[in-house]
Structure 1
Amino acid sequence: MGMMVVARRVEAPADEVRYEFGFEDKFDRVLTINPSTLETRVDDGDFNTAASAITAKIVNARRSAGDFPARMMFAS
């Protein structure tokens, strides 16, 4: 069975980037990325497969484009 995780960037302090994310369009979790170190954390503490997959897509897009994307989707 496949998985689709979506994320959208939300307002955050200058020293971090935040995304609401979840399965399909259920933005029920928050991912925080330090833009200097690219260290990540999930507010609920459960850095599971969905969090890992969307984080990898966001970080790769940032490395390619030089900025964090407004939206991102991972599908498998």
Structure 2
Amino acid sequence: MGMMVAARRVEAPAHKVRYEFGFEDRFDRILVIDRQTLEATVEDGDFNAAASAITAKIVNSWRSAGDFPQRMLFAS
């Protein structure tokens, strides 16, 4: 069974980047990525497969482009 996780950047202050994310455009969770360490946390404390997958896509995009993307989609 596949999974589709979408994320949109909502805030990008100096030290952390915040994304709303969820399954199929249901942006019901918050992901926070530290700009210095690239450590990711989820506000609800449940860093599950969906959080891991979208974090990997966002960080890979940052590594390629040099900036955190406005939107990201993971589909498997």
TM-score strictly above 0.5? yes
Q: Give the alignment's Cα RMSD to 1 decimal.
A: 0.7
Is 1:68 the counterpart of 2:39? The answer is no
> Mind listing any 5+ residue stretches in structure 2 that lack a counterpart?
none
Distance in 1 of aligned mates of 2:36 and 2:13: 13
Which secondary structure state, in structure 2, belongs to the residue aligned with residue 25 of structure 1?
A: coil
The aligned length equals 76
Normalising by structure 1, what TM-score? 0.97
Match of 1:13 in 2: 13
> Mind listing any 5+ residue stretches in structure 1 that lack a counterpart?
none
**Percent identity between the aligned chains?**
78
Distance in 1 of aligned mates of 2:54 and 2:28: 14
Match of 1:40 in 2: 40
Which secondary structure state, in structure 2, belongs to the residue aligned with residue 2 of structure 1?
A: coil
1:14-47 deviations in Å (ceiling 9; x for gaps)? 2100000000010000000001110110000000
Q: Which aligned runs of 4 or more in structure 1 are off by greater than 4 angstroms? A: none
- Give the drift of 1:52: 0.2
Distance in 2 of aligned mates of 1:33 and 1:26: 20
Distance in 1 of aligned mates of 2:43 and 2:19: 11
Is 1:26 the counterpart of 2:29? The answer is no
Normalising by structure 2, what TM-score? 0.97
